[in-house]
Structure 1
Amino acid sequence: MSEPDYDADLAAHVNTVLAEFLREASESIGHTEPAFEPATAALCDFVLGGGKRMRPTFAWWAWRGAGGDPAGDHAPGVLRAVASLELIQACALIHDDVLDSSDSRRGSPTVHVAFAGRHAEHGWLGSADAFGLAAAVLIGDLALAWADDMFSEAPLPPAVLRAGRPAWRAMRTEVLAGQYLDVHTQATGDASVEAALRIDRLKTAAYTVQRPLHLGAALAGASTELIESLLAFGRDLGVAFQLRDDLLGVFGDPSVTGKPAGDDLREGKRTLLLALGLRFAAERNRGHDADIITAAVGNPDLTGNDVERVRDVLTDLGAVAEVERRIETLTASALDSLTTADLADPAPKRLTELAIKATQRTH
């Protein structure tokens, strides 16, 4: 029997180990509490129903670049360890949808909306919306608990798992801190460029790119110098990725983003795009344009015409062009950092391809 070629189709192998783990974990609790089955099924469907597997991919190629052997004894364990990142992502997304009162994700009802519908369908007691919110919080919590189980039970030597623990711990804390900072900024109405960038660095750069890179490299026993180079690469690339996502949140095609057009505006996201729009409007004494942007942020009743008006204003003010410029600059800076990292082939090529894919105009 030939060895699996993890490099050739990493996402498929990640999906396979996720499906195996989720089946085993679901069966275990299902035997003792069958009533919990809809919750575990919802989590399984959410995790296996989509996603780019970006975080495991960054982690895997950092491991490979730091000397990890895809045909060696540790490869299956590393695959399982990096695949567990998708469960942290599931937790973050399910909870984000609750925090943002989002109705849809990937073209389907969000978890809290689906469970509210389940409550209403069965005619249960109490508030359907409250039940949906409670179920989503608990399902997100389950994803986080299972992520730790999947990582800690990966078939790797204890010393290897210990080496990855600092990155793992930092990532879990940083993503929650980033989520809190996001809602705090929305609540305080801080529309500054500085606030938007703090969220981008903590919620996205650290969690999506930096810590997965850190984790993969640490599992391979990388030097401090190599990890620092990868963190620098991940910091700039992660912010660039978030800026692209911000643009898609206002200008994106719903068939690509999986969310209604302008949903970031309705949710009140204080992005760099909006912060720059308000800054440029103030600098040019264009109060009417600032009013259009401000009125749209956090307005759940925003129409398609309203979204189009905000798009026109942001484009005319130069905010869109400035975000595009920053994406280009940050991506170039990230790739420069990558050239200084002493990585084994073919990791530099694969990480460069990932960087371009993460920041291109449609993805």
Structure 2
Amino acid sequence: MPQQHAARSELTQLIEAEERTYLELLESELARFFEAQERLLADISEESLPLLESIRSLSTGGKRLRALLCYWGWRGAGGAVHAPEVVTAGAALELFQSSALIHDDIIDNSDTRRGAPAVHKQFESMHRTQSWRADAASFGVSAAIIVGDLCLSWSEQVFASIGEKVALGTEARRIFDLMRTEVMSGQYLDVLGEVTDAGDSVALQRAQHVIRYKSAKYSCEHPLALGGALALGTQASHDHSLLHAYREFALPLGEGFQLRDDLLGVFGSPQETGKPAGDDLKEGKRTVLIALTHQLASAEQWQRIDEGLGDQGISPVDIAELQQIITDSGAREQVEASIAEKENTVSQRLEQLPVDDTVRLALERIVGKALHRTS
């Protein structure tokens, strides 16, 4: 037993060192790309440089969950350590993530992201500081839409630079394109859920669709499969046994990851999440947590929840009241139980993955961080 513990500890250290090097290469790749884009934007106009700065600040740091899953998917399929193409793929995924966050914050009217002003709030503040004409909030939203579109364009540009391995007709290209379509569709379903009335079962089903297509697939399933497809090259296909096993493992991981995010959006600590307490309540997000509350709470309790959802001026006292209703209804407990169930499924499927011990342990560590995080 002590020998097994020592071997696991040694392997963990090797994994951590490999990840550190990969993330350093990823940061360098992004830095080089941003430097090139800075020169291009400066040639267009110095006034366009704030577009870059907002992307650069948002795309620097973070958990890098998607890039790491892509990397270990690559390694599990026989890809070489720290190969340039998987570094570039990770950079493309991170730029796509930044684009999604920028647009998501506009849609949700979020003031902050990772403890700093959201991009549309940054441009709104710039407008106010400069005492420009017209409406500052409108300018902020307009500028942030452009920033998000630019970031999405850059994500495609970086991904395409990998070359033949991501050319039209390859499995890697199919995954990347599918991922973007699914996220946009999931985002629309999320918006739709906030403005339409639906019965308990319909609301829950829609919220589960949003989790799957807006978050779970692009956060976990597609990055892992993308890394594997890149390493397999011409051998990769949609029904390849390894890629199928990756998807079976990563989809419930992504769903559990988003369920945890939904809990943090209501109950998380602002010091750890970088967002105000109860931010999802202020934004009116119709998550699985809220759909379950609708099913389980009394009519009077639900009316109070329904009135408070989306109220940007809701007080801390009212937020605490809504949090208590959600907890008392049993919805919070059910979401925790669902996360535990998905974690059990993920663990079983991880054991069945046809990968070596290094990749298996690396993925196990990602599972722990994704499902038990506090930020």
Equivalence map 1:65-104=2 (5 Å): 65-70=76-81, 75-104=83-112
Aligned to 1:243: 259
Is residue 205–residue 238 contact of structure 1 (8 Å, CA) maintained in 2? yes
State which of 138, 145, 150 in structure 2 corresponds to 1:142: 150
Aligned to 1:313: 325
Deviation at residue 34 of structure 1 after TM alignment: 1.9
Percent of aligned positions that are identical? 38
Aligned to 1:15: 27
| 1:213 matches 2:224 | yes
CA–CA separation in structure 1 for the residues paired with 2:76 and 2:88: 18
Aligned to 1:278: 294
| 1:255 matches 2:271 | yes
Aligned to 1:153: 161
State which of 173, 178, 193 in structure 1 corresponds to 2:181: 173
State which of 250, 272, 280 in structure 2 corresponds to 1:234: 250
| 1:341 matches 2:353 | yes
Aligned to 1:292: 304
Deviation at residue 308 of structure 1 after TM alignment: 0.9
The two structures have a TM-score, normalised by structure 1, of 0.92
CA–CA separation in structure 2 for the residues paired with 1:88 and 1:118: 25
Is residue 266–residue 281 contact of structure 2 (8 Å, CA) maintained in 1? yes
Deviations 1:321-351 (A, max 9, x none): 1110000001111221222221134111111
CA–CA separation in structure 1 for the residues paired with 2:40 and 2:319: 47
CA–CA separation in structure 1 for the residues paired with 2:342 and 2:76: 22
Aligned to 1:63: 74
Deviation at residue 287 of structure 1 after TM alignment: 2.0
Deviation at residue 355 of structure 1 after TM alignment: 0.9
Deviation at residue 272 of structure 1 after TM alignment: 0.8
Deviation at residue 147 of structure 1 after TM alignment: 0.6
| 1:128 matches 2:136 | yes
| 1:304 matches 2:320 | no
CA–CA separation in structure 2 for the residues paired with 1:188 and 1:311: 23
SS of the residue 1:346 aligns to = helix
Q: Choose 159-168 or 101-110, whichever is displaced more.
A: 159-168
Deviations 1:114-145 (A, max 9, x none): 11121122122222111111100000001001
Deviation at residue 262 of structure 1 after TM alignment: 0.6
Deviations 1:170-209 (A, max 9, x none): 1111111111111011111446211111100111111101
Deviation at residue 26 of structure 1 after TM alignment: 1.9
CA–CA separation in structure 2 for the residues paired with 1:273 and 1:148: 34
Is residue 269–residue 297 contact of structure 1 (8 Å, CA) maintained in 2? yes
| 1:106 matches 2:114 | yes
Deviations 1:39-78 (A, max 9, x none): 1122111211x4111100111101101111106xxx0122
Amino acid at match of 2:331: A
Aligned to 1:119: 127
Aligned to 2:282: 266
CA–CA separation in structure 1 for the residues paired with 2:33 and 2:135: 34
Amino acid at match of 1:81: A
SS of the residue 1:176 aligns to = helix
Q: Which runs of 5 or more residues in structure 2 are unaligned?
A: 1-16
The two structures have a TM-score, normalised by structure 2, of 0.89
| 1:322 matches 2:334 | yes
The alignment yields a C-alpha RMSD, in angstroms, of 1.6
Q: Choose 311-320 or 256-265, whichever is displaced more.
A: 311-320
Deviations 1:286-321 (A, max 9, x none): 222212221221111111111111111111111111
| 1:186 matches 2:194 | yes
Amino acid at match of 2:141: L
Higher helix share: 2
